[in-house]
Structure 1
Amino acid sequence: MIVTYNWIKEFVDCDLPAAELSHLLTMLGLEVERMEEVGGGMDDVVVAQVVERNQHPNADKLSLCKVDDGSGGELLSIVCGAQNFKAGDKVALAKIGATLPGDFKIKRSKIRGEESFGMLCSERELALSDESSGIMILPQDFKLGVPLFNALGTKDVIFEIGLTPNRADCLSVAGVAREIAAKLGKKVHYPGLEVKETGAPIESIAQVAIDAPDLCPRYTARHITGCTLAPSPTWLANRLRDAGIRSINNIVDVTNYVLLEYGHPLHAFDFKLLSGGKIVVAAAGEGEQFHTLDGQERTLSASDLTIRDGEKAVALAGIMGGGNSEINDATTEVLLESAYFNPSAIRRTSKRLGIHTESSHRFERGTDVAGLTRALDRAAQLIAELSGGRIAKGVIDVYPEPIAPRTIPARLARINAVSGLSLTAAEVKDMFERLEFQVAETEAGVFKVQVPLFRVDLEREIDLVEEVVRLNGFEKVEATLPQASVLSDLPSPQLRLGSRIKDLLVSHGLSEVINYSFVAPTSCEKILLAEDDFRRKGVPLLNPISDELSVMRTTLLPGLLETAVKNINFRTLDLRIFEMRRIYIPSETNDLGLPDEPMCLAALFTGRRDPEGWNQAKGNLDFFDVKGIVESILDELNIGGVNYVADELDPYFHPGKACRVKSGNRELGSFGELHPSVQENYGIDQVLYYLELNFGKLIACRKEMGSAQVPSRFPSTFRDIAMLLPETTPAAEILASVKSVKADELEGVELFDLYTGGNIPKGEKSIAIRVRYGSKERTLTDDEVTKLHQRVIATLQKKLNVSFR
């Protein structure tokens, strides 16, 4: 928010130096980010008069002038190239030693053989205008020798205030002045309103209807006829310029001026362009096209609020007007709008369409619904004065359900306890009244505070405590150490197990990454999820930070792939990364409509098995490296009875090169090589392996470690079995068949050889297993081992129909 000192002083009597006022505002919570003097350091630019103007003897397009600078000394000789002045005109003279905007220093010079002792300046050279057709011609009543900016009355100080989003009430000169007056204990002087209504009754001219009162609780309007469009007077153009707004014409400039003055946006329609002479506040049609004032064609949705006439939309409510009703050179009748719009509705439309204006900036934060008529009357009065218009009798004010001011209780004891101050009830009551609050002390030290509608940020007692501390002075709050007790809370079992698994993965050479919890809507397509896959629905965000991050993730895979792409693009080709975070699955059973949020563990692998070095293992990572890590996780959690099933895989896995992990009937997750199409979709040209485990299910399957078993004192006996069986038979079935032989003496079994190729029939494979037999009570005899071994062989033949080599 930009305000000027002179404008502030029109609202409150303040004679503080600019630097002190800047400090006062900052200590009130209105931080001054920039302070700039208009005309500061330019006292050497003075009012002067051209006494003689003669042709330069050595240049056709230059004049040699004699200029009186008001000092009483000799006339100055000035060479000038402008043609828009004559002898007797009063002009702006930059004397030798003056420094103009842009750090342009005026020096004594010789131009085409003639000496020049200064420079006659244009408005552009003095930063008073963006354009100029010659030097600046001043009124004849200006006194010679007076610094130009003093004579113009434009010497001022500009304050640029960095407001926090909650202080919408200070997005105006009046709001800032109100804060200064409260701090200094003075009254605010609002501009006098004298609306001279000389036209016909407004009810006979225009009508207003609100079809969406929840989005527009109040709409007011005035009608002005007989207007003449013209450039704004200098004082108005200068005020807008200092605030960073370009002057357009006398009608539009007034709406911008009152917006800055009162903080309430207004809009002026060319009334003759409004079909039927009516205004309807209603939602847009889905897909409706609307041409805004910035020349853009906008596609609206049913959630967008529009201002319409009898046939069409003429403005995007609270944001921008339409090109079909704008003020133009032919405008003579104006319908002036002052309304209140729902902040969330304006914010939603502004963000969706990517439009941010001075109006939307204020409506999004909340304007003063009670003060909009004052802004309307102020603007109507100025438009009538500056354009020669006549204001219709009366005002249209559609306000179906008036909004009542909020009443908040406050306790003196609470205020002093929180702030550390020792204020009296009278002091607190006085501060509330200086802030224009209505306050009543219902009992000793207990207040009932009615907050004006322009303070949309105050909702609770603690907000009133902050107001008291702020107005009393933050610097008066003593610095003390906070009193607090330190509580030590033991981590949950799940958190401890999660840390153990992370440490385990790090020990295997993996690096943890943390990705956004939201992804692009197209991420499901890139990982090949089918249209009917429940995960593809996703959970859309109501207020996403961008279109590419607008859906909550249903799997950790897209985030890991994006991380892999960034690393591979920087030539980090050997990756082992993991993430243990929540995913968000749409739920139809949750009564609150919230998604399920299971904790998942996912990892992505690619590149060489070992880092580059003289003793590195040859080859790249493969399926069995990933399987080994899965087995390490299962061992760490003491999860047994695990099966690896190579069917019903997710579509992003390579068929035949991945499997699901099951413990009994509970599916824990899956791992394997990613589908080549997924790699292609992400622009990756090397093989990727992925594992994803449901951490909650892992915890549920976990078994507590039993007591340690004393090893047998007697030696074990090993017997090997080599067999032929179909290639499609999982090794897990072989091991399970052996373990199904119920015998205490069968201590274990492991696979130690796999062979395919020569001498092996096509479609079959040779597998060798080693079975260990033993007893804790004695050494088994050879006959006992042979009988038990025969049972194992018979079981394999019966269950798997294997043939032995």
Structure 2
Amino acid sequence: MKISINRLKKYIPHTESAEEIGALLTQSGLEVEGLEEFVSVKGGLEGIVIGEVLTCEKHPDADKLSLTTVDIGGESPSQIVCGAPNVAQGQKVLVATVGATLYPSEGDSFQIKKAKIRGEVSEGMICAEDELGLGSSHAGIMVLDTDLPNGTSASKFIEVDQDQVLEIGLTPNRADAASHLGVARDLKALLGRNLVIDTAPELNLEASGPAIQVEVENSTDCPRYAGVVVSDLKVGPSPTWLQNFLIALDLEPINNVVDITNFILHDLGQPLHAFDTAKISEGKIIVGKLSKDSKFVTLDGKERKLSGEELMIKDPKGGLCIAGVFGGVDSGVSEDTTSIFLESAYFSPDIIRKGSQFHGLKTDASFRFERGTDPNMPVYALKMAVKLLQEIAGGKVSSELIDIYPELIADFVIDVTYGHINRLIGKKIEPSQVKSILESLEISVSNETAEGFTATAKPYRVDVTREADIIEEVLRIYGFHNVELSENLRTDYLAEHPVKDLNKLQYRLTEILTGQGYYEMITNSLTKSSYAEKSGFLDPKDSVVIYNKLSEDLDVMRQSLLYSGLEVLARNINRRQTDLKYFEFGTVYHKAAEGYVESRRLSLFLTGKKTAESWLESAKAFAFADIYSTVEGILEKLNVSPGDLSIVEKAPFAYNLKIMLGQKELASIGLLDDRILKQAEVRQEVWYADLNWDLLCKKTSGLKKFEEISKFPEVRRDLSLVIDKNVSYDQVKSVATKFGGKLLKRIGVFDVYQGDKIDTGKKAYALSFHLQDHENTLTDKVIDKTMSKLIQAFEKEVGALIRT
């Protein structure tokens, strides 16, 4: 949401800088996310001055150029070469001096430099309208009618509006602050100054116009509806001040009538809508609903089917507007409009939210209505809009003001105790200061006792309905920074350290996987119950069944990411995309003894070819090593050391490697069983990994950080081990990690042998060991000592024979 500092000053006159105002608002809960400078003429005409053409002669070497001397207020006139056909002696003109930057209406900006044009020196530029960004005309230079002295800044002649615009990240609870008036109310309390609000004018009949009747079918959906007819309008462009106000807020001026409604919306927070009275059938407005599947064309020209639940503004023939959301194409204001019915209403937030969500329409009006507007504002806003219509568009009031408000919306009355205020804030605040803060926020205080009081908040404060809300109001104006930390502050209630940002962790891992060529997928949490029934590894009794299911195929919550991922693979493979690398972070759901359990998983899928065929090499299919290396890399990045590994044959895999972390399964990696693939209609091999993301997040100490490259060299030593066939490499690696000490940086396998040159039931590993000390150069003595420890450990722990 954008707020103009200039407009804010109309409500709260102040001399504080925009940065200071932004800091105050942020401190009070209206977070200012940015500050922009707005200038109605780009560059603010800086470096552009008024000059007088003293002489004008034909350029000696160019028929279409003139050689002029121009008085721009300097010690001597400036010589300027000009190509405009209308330049003449005695004219007052606008001159861009050397060093000035021009921002033309079309094209890129450019800087004026002293130059030679066809042999003659030119010290500046006499400007046309489009060259200054003031319009589109390039017929000739601008000739001024002014008595201002030569050398006067152009901004003294051409009004340049300057403003500063705050970008406020409005939280959903602060609907009251979705306007300049709303922000000014907070500023009133923060600065301790009075709010300046114009008195609404009385609307007197000035002309006879079409009579409009209003009928509200359901006052629950529309508790208040006001409107008035304004005739004799002249629809056209808005005045400069209004256009600049809207442009500063990133809005496009349309015409004076629509611009006024937009001005009121952003100024007072009250959306208005103007209907062309000539297009209202039988002179009757009805606030109600239309039947389901009725067709309605909105202002953007799109035909929409109605749900039958959205609130409509209609006439006896049909819809005119989706109430509080979007107008209709047939009832809007056009150049031919001379009379309008101006609507100002308070709609139920729930009904507006339904219409907005169903049609996927988010407008400035729906943004405010669905959060809750001020039910006491419609008539005031209507009168202020009519005042502007009279001033800007020549309008005349031609009907009585209609205000249908059958049941007054009451204020919020809340009992508050000082004890609760002091306990929740963590500091004793004097009752007089509490009262002063609340009254500065237009929250009245009554029934005061030594223990507490009654607070009354106006209905526009939709977020102030409980005692805790009142205390929050006191604290945000008093200032969080003014609450000192206790000398006895304990830390036993704080979170464990260091705090892990799990979202950031997932985001970084996503970057790593995509960098390896994986694509992320996000699949539906709803799936078919038949998957669990036929899977062989999922228990159908654990499925979380959906009572109001969308379809027979989406009747349970998924127990695994496997099937939703396979559906994605099948869809791609059926479209000839057969070489796929996918991953997904997702939640799975199970029934528990009491209630339900959710857990987060990470799934990986590889299928097809790792490398395409070429004249250099044949195509190579994905293998177990490819998906295992990805999982290994994930664990390494997260600083998680895997525990026991075992190879098992268990559904959904044809065979798989299971990685444990203590007593819990961390990951399963392997080739999916053909029966599982057939269920999902996938007709090629798929490698799959399923990781327990919750367990990983719990055990990780964060992503591995980069280290400075050591200035001391790394040393490599090789060993050949003969071991039993049933001893895995991970067992060997675990022994090396345990006994290698801090000098052992990594271990690798560069050869594996099984054959007649070693005993039956044996295999040989050729291993490389990389040693490094970050503080000293390794000596032979230290290296030999480390390798001796490793040799002894291999012989003892895995029964290895060291080959020499």
Q: Same fold (TM over 0.5)?
A: yes
Tell me the equivalent position of 1:178.
Answer: 185
Partner Cα separation in structure 2 for residue 604 and residue 3 of structure 1: 47
Partner Cα separation in structure 1 for residue 113 and residue 172 of structure 2: 48
1:479 shift after superposition:
3.5
Tell me the equivalent position of 1:48.
Answer: 50
Partner Cα separation in structure 2 for residue 155 and residue 600 of structure 1: 54
Query: Match of 2:29, SS?
Result: coil
Q: How does 1:287-436 map to 2 (within 5 A)?
A: 287-436=293-442
Answer yes or no: is the 8 Å Cα contact 1:79–1:111 preserved in 2. Answer: yes
Higher CA-based Rg = 1
Q: 2:258 aligns with which of 221, 234, 252?
A: 252
Tell me the equivalent position of 2:236.
Answer: 230
1:436 shift after superposition:
1.6
Query: Match of 1:166, SS?
Result: coil
Letter in 2 for 1:8: L
Letter in 1 for 2:176: D
Answer yes or no: is the 8 Å Cα contact 1:673–1:687 preserved in 2. Answer: no
Query: Match of 1:179, SS?
Result: helix
Partner Cα separation in structure 1 for residue 7 and residue 348 of structure 2: 30
Partner Cα separation in structure 1 for residue 139 and residue 381 of structure 2: 36
Q: From the superposition, tell whether residues 42 and 395 of structure 1 become closer, same or farther in structure 2 (CA, over 3 Å).
A: closer
Letter in 2 for 1:562: G
Partner Cα separation in structure 2 for residue 162 and residue 17 of structure 1: 20
Task: Report Cα offsets for 1:169-210 as digits up to 9, x if no partner.
Answer: 2221222222222211111112343355233578x7111111
Q: How does 1:276-287 map to 2 (within 5 A)?
A: 276-287=282-293
Query: Match of 1:443, SS?
Result: coil
Q: From the superposition, tell whether residues 676 and 271 of structure 1 become closer, same or farther in structure 2 (CA, over 3 Å).
A: same
Tell me the equivalent position of 2:249.
Answer: 243
Partner Cα separation in structure 1 for residue 582 and residue 523 of structure 2: 21
Tell me the equivalent position of 1:685.
Answer: 684
Partner Cα separation in structure 1 for residue 238 and residue 147 of structure 2: 22
Task: Report Cα offsets for 1:692-737 as digits up to 9, x if no partner.
Answer: xxxxxxxxxxxxxxxxxxxxxxxxxxxxxxxxxxxxxxxxxxxxxx
Query: Match of 1:679, SS?
Result: coil
Partner Cα separation in structure 1 for residue 135 and residue 533 of structure 2: 60
Q: How does 1:727-766 map to 2 (within 5 A)?
A: none
Q: From the superposition, tell whether residues 625 and 286 of structure 1 become closer, same or farther in structure 2 (CA, over 3 Å).
A: closer
Answer yes or no: is the 8 Å Cα contact 1:50–1:90 preserved in 2. Answer: yes
1:276 shift after superposition:
1.2
Partner Cα separation in structure 2 for residue 336 and residue 84 of structure 1: 48
Tell me the equivalent position of 1:562.
Answer: 565
Letter in 2 for 1:685: Q
Q: From the superposition, tell whether residues 361 and 606 of structure 1 become closer, same or farther in structure 2 (CA, over 3 Å).
A: closer
Q: From the superposition, tell whether residues 520 and 623 of structure 1 become closer, same or farther in structure 2 (CA, over 3 Å).
A: closer
Q: Single out whichever of 145-154 and 392-401 deviates more from structure 2.
A: 145-154
Tell me the equivalent position of 1:801.
Answer: none
Letter in 2 for 1:190: I
Answer yes or no: is the 8 Å Cα contact 1:604–1:690 preserved in 2. Answer: yes
Q: From the superposition, tell whether residues 426 and 207 of structure 1 become closer, same or farther in structure 2 (CA, over 3 Å).
A: same
Task: Report Cα offsets for 1:665-686 as digits up to 9, x if no partner.
Answer: xxxxxx9933735224xxx534
Q: From the superposition, tell whether residues 472 and 105 of structure 1 become closer, same or farther in structure 2 (CA, over 3 Å).
A: farther
Answer yes or no: is the 8 Å Cα contact 2:320–2:328 preserved in 1. Answer: yes
Letter in 2 for 1:381: K
Partner Cα separation in structure 1 for residue 76 and residue 689 of structure 2: 91
Tell me the equivalent position of 2:503.
Answer: none
Tell me the equivalent position of 1:22.
Answer: 22
Q: Single out whichever of 454-463 and 73-82 deviates more from structure 2.
A: 73-82
1:77 shift after superposition:
4.1
Q: How does 1:102-113 map to 2 (within 5 A)?
A: 104-113=110-119
Answer yes or no: is the 8 Å Cα contact 1:319–1:359 preserved in 2. Answer: yes
Answer yes or no: is the 8 Å Cα contact 1:44–1:95 preserved in 2. Answer: no
Q: From the superposition, tell whether residues 385 and 88 of structure 1 become closer, same or farther in structure 2 (CA, over 3 Å).
A: farther
Letter in 2 for 1:170: A
Task: Report Cα offsets for 1:394-418 as digits up to 9, x if no partner.
Answer: 3111122221111222222322222
Partner Cα separation in structure 2 for residue 333 and residue 15 of structure 1: 42
Tell me the equivalent position of 1:271.
Answer: 277
Q: Single out whichever of 551-560 and 322-331 deviates more from structure 2.
A: 551-560
Q: How does 1:574-593 map to 2 (within 5 A)?
A: 581-583=588-590
Tell me the equivalent position of 1:440.
Answer: 446
Answer yes or no: is the 8 Å Cα contact 2:446–2:454 preserved in 1. Answer: yes
1:265 shift after superposition:
1.2
Tell me the equivalent position of 1:191.
Answer: 198
Partner Cα separation in structure 2 for residue 274 and residue 525 of structure 1: 56
Answer yes or no: is the 8 Å Cα contact 2:30–2:168 preserved in 1. Answer: yes
Answer yes or no: is the 8 Å Cα contact 2:624–2:687 preserved in 1. Answer: no
Tell me the equivalent position of 1:459.
Answer: 465
1:364 shift after superposition:
2.2
Partner Cα separation in structure 2 for residue 441 and residue 467 of structure 1: 19
Partner Cα separation in structure 1 for residue 18 and residue 689 of structure 2: 64
Task: Report Cα offsets for 1:531-589 as digits up to 9, x if no partner.
Answer: xx9999845699xxxxx9x977444256544178579999999999999943589xxxx
Task: Report Cα offsets for 1:318-345 as digits up to 9, x if no partner.
Answer: 1111110111111100111111222233
Q: From the superposition, tell whether residues 249 and 446 of structure 1 become closer, same or farther in structure 2 (CA, over 3 Å).
A: same
Partner Cα separation in structure 2 for residue 575 and residue 381 of structure 1: 62
With structure 2 as the length reference, what TM-score do the two structures score? 0.64
Partner Cα separation in structure 2 for residue 91 and residue 360 of structure 1: 49
Answer yes or no: is the 8 Å Cα contact 1:560–1:604 preserved in 2. Answer: no
Q: Does 1:154 align with 2:169?
A: no
1:285 shift after superposition:
2.3
Tell me the equivalent position of 1:96.
Answer: 98
With structure 1 as the length reference, what TM-score do the two structures score? 0.64
Tell me the equivalent position of 2:4.
Answer: 4
Partner Cα separation in structure 1 for residue 93 and residue 404 of structure 2: 52
Q: Single out whichever of 406-415 and 561-570 deviates more from structure 2.
A: 561-570
Task: Report Cα offsets for 1:468-515 as digits up to 9, x if no partner.
Answer: 122122321224575576699xxxxxxxxxxxxxxxxxxxxxxxxx99
Tell me the equivalent position of 1:35.
Answer: 35
Q: From the superposition, tell whether residues 98 and 302 of structure 1 become closer, same or farther in structure 2 (CA, over 3 Å).
A: same
Answer yes or no: is the 8 Å Cα contact 2:56–2:89 preserved in 1. Answer: no
Query: Match of 2:35, SS?
Result: strand
Answer yes or no: is the 8 Å Cα contact 1:674–1:688 preserved in 2. Answer: no
Answer yes or no: is the 8 Å Cα contact 2:51–2:151 preserved in 1. Answer: no
